[in-house]
Amino acid sequence: MVLGLILAVGLLVLSYLRLIGDSQSMSFRDHVLDSLYAGSIWGTTLSYNLVKFGAAMLLLHLLYGAACWLMGRLSFRAWPSEKTTRRQHVVLWFIAFTLALLANNASTFTTSSLGEPYAEIMSTKLLGVALGRAILLLTVLCAAITLLAAAIRWWREGGRVSRNGYVALGALGVAVAISSAQSLRVAHAPRPADKPNVILIGLDSLRQDLLDEKISPNVTPHLSAFMKGGVQFTNAITPLARTFPSMCSMLTGRSPHSSGAVMNLLPRELIDDSESMPRLLSRAGYRTVYATDEVRFANIDGTFGFAQTITPPIGATEFLIAKVADAPVFNVLVNTRLVGWLFPHVHANRGAANTYDPDTFVRRVDRELQTDQPLLLVTHLTLGHWPYIWAGAPMMRSDKNARWPPYYLRAAARVDQQFADIMNMLERKGLLQNAIVIVYSDHGEAFGVHNEALVPDADPLIEALDAKPIWGHGSSVLTTHQFHIVLGMRRFGEQWTGRPLTDAPVSFEDIAPTVMDLLQIPTTAPFDGRSLAGLLRGDEGASQSFAGRIRFTETEYQIPADLATPEGQVSTSKVEEALSVYSIDRVTDRITVRPTHLAQLLLHRHYAALGDEYLLAALPSKTGPGFEYLAVELTGGIPRKLSGPPATEDRELSALWSALHQKQKVLRTDSSSVANSAVANTDLTIPLRVTK
């Protein structure tokens, strides 16, 4: 057995040689870790998790070595020969299994360290099966034949089992027991619903124009079918196009500055969710559950009012392990229950994009979701987010001039199927018999293509303000694709009579007050959003009541524009610059914005007010403190700089000017309260300077 273990350890070392030498691997760059942590990581929760990960990875490879040794022993019994030894059989099977794993790794995990160089060859179809997968299946078939031959010979020779055989069978039994232990949970059948279940399904980074029937690329058939059975809001925006602030606005019904959720990875104590939808529904007798497959930047957990969370572990460990959890032996088992127990930071985790299987996350939710009372389920699927890859994803192809790049369309199509699988699972559990289902995207996505923004590509005014829209989200208010969102609602068990398509100006903040209105649960929660129940029911005058509504949106922290490309090329120096803004808690492992940076981060962002025809943007001035104001038509055009209030006859711009300046005054007041909170907790202030 020693030979098998030695070979397995050697394979583990070889698996990491390329990863360590990879110029894109940030995890091994000391100065990047220093900028993230500003000190030694030893003795921290992060170090404990990394050591545990290393031990689990070693154990997995030792088990692999033991399996190769056992296979060699059985092969020697099945095919005895005076010209070969047991050791030679062990080595031969180790080589065969390893080559098969490498081939399968290249065809299934095309962006993994050892898979990428051979992905194109091994992904070639052979009778409808990828070449790498075919090699693995052939090797497994040969192993099965060998096992059968060994069993027949063993039976003919009297059927005695050696001590080592009992040990091997015992180890196999333990592995099977561990991998299936959680399956023994008793599922609770939902009782007849006296209250409708409330189910929210989020599709991260999904652009609203993907569902525009006039230009649709038809990659989301399941989502389109869902929308046609309910009410789709074609003019919905998020107040801040980043996942965490956007999600908090949805859950609280409040703007980011009202709740304090003004950016990703903000210290938890600065966020007020005391009257959030999960808390209100929990008091009304609902079981509240949150499920997501990625938590690196949106640290939503049980403290937000959820009785159950189905998520990867939150913290810095996820960032680092996602980069180093890459070895052929590990990859082929990553979506099994055994590896889910050994590697909780990677299993069913979109943060580990190279090995993430969308079906694994659906199975996890199916397995763990408890449904013994009326349910509020918020599930957020992040497959449509950068880097647009997953296990089994086609080789990435780029088209810099495409409205929707091919890699984005493939990700959208796959998450559409994942959405359908979630819906099928909910239907099978009986949760759709009486339910309100809301489907949303937390923000859109821009790709920096020609004529994508509201302003011309090379507008001199935009260039002078260093405000040229770039790819991504939460980086510009001048690209509507960043803050326009998908939003649709459907009633199962009853029927709403509202128009299937409505262009009423709505916001992500409207979801919480809408749910409370539909459930007829009285509340004094200070919502900034408005109920959309009238639009859903088709009440007379409901659409007219939204006419002339002014909505607000803004950007977040501006990560260096050249941090990474959509194709995944990463700049080490830019990563160091970005990570210098954050710190890691030694005990909780949580990454948060360094409080010393909050004032600067709040100061350098874009704000905008939207009307029916115009967008009024406030962009940080390049000549001093304060903002420059630009007006641009929502249909696009040359921006107009405003040095003062517009003429009174220009009614909409005048209203936008007044509303945006009033909003900024409120922001100053809100930031003062946040500053006071920061003083109490961190001895720091967060000023927000605004000038007219």
User: Could you report the per-residue pLDDT of 222-233, keeping only the tens digit for each?
Assistant: 999 999 999 999
What is each CA distance from 156 to 72, 151, 153, in whole angstroms?
20, 9, 5
Of the candidate ranges 5-19, 22-36, 262-276, 575-589, the one whose mean pLDDT is the lowest: 22-36
3-state SS, residue 218: coil
DSSP assignment of 322-333 equals HHH---HHHHHH
In the beta sheet, which residues pair with residue 554? 240, 607
Question: Is a pLDDT exceeding 90 seen at residue 675?
Answer: no
Cα separation of 577 and 558, whole Å?
Answer: 11
Token duo for residue 189: 């059948």
Residues 596-607: what's their mean pLDDT?
A: 76
Q: Are strands 487-492 and 231-233 parallel, antiparallel or unpaired?
A: antiparallel
Residues 508-523: what's their mean pLDDT?
A: 97
Cβ contact 444:481 at 8 Å: yes
What is each CA distance from 507 to 236, 551, 650, in whole angstroms?
5, 7, 25
Cα separation of 664 and 383, whole Å?
Answer: 35
Cα separation of 427 and 350, whole Å?
Answer: 24
Cα separation of 154 and 91, whole Å?
Answer: 22
Cβ contact 594:639 at 8 Å: no
What is each CA distance from 608 to 126, 479, 510, in whole angstroms?
54, 11, 18
Token duo for residue 100: 């098969």
Give the pLDDT band of residue 136 (cuts 50, 70, 90).
Answer: very high
Residues 403-415: what's their mean pLDDT?
A: 95
Choice between 228 and 191, residue whose per-residue pLDDT is larger: 228
Angle at 373 between CA 434 and CA 244, to 5 degrees: 85
Residue 387 preceded by cis peptide, ω within 30: yes
- Give alpha helix (H) positions in 447-546: 460-464, 480-483, 511-518, 533-537
Question: What pLDDT does residue 585 have?
Answer: 82
Model confidence, pTM: 0.88
DSSP assignment of 393-414 equals PPPP---TT-SS-HHHHHHHHH
DSSP assignment of 552-592 equals EEE------TTSB-TT--B-HHHHHHHHTTEEE-TTT--EE
User: Can you give the C-alpha Rg of the chain in angstroms?
Assistant: 28
Q: At what angle do helices 316-324 and 45-78 cross, to 10 degrees?
A: 30
Angle at 45 between CA 43 and CA 50, to 5 degrees: 90
Question: What pLDDT does residue 671 have?
Answer: 46
Q: Please, which residues have CB within 8 angstroms of residue 243's CB and are 6 or more apart in sequence?
A: 204, 264, 297, 298, 380, 382, 442, 443
Question: What pLDDT does residue 419 have?
Answer: 98
Token duo for residue 97: 């299994």
Question: What pLDDT does residue 14 have?
Answer: 79
SS3 string of 606-644? CEEEECCCEEEEEEECCCCCCEEEEEEECCCCCCEEECC
Which of 255, 322, 123, 314 shows the shortest CA–CA distance to 667? 255
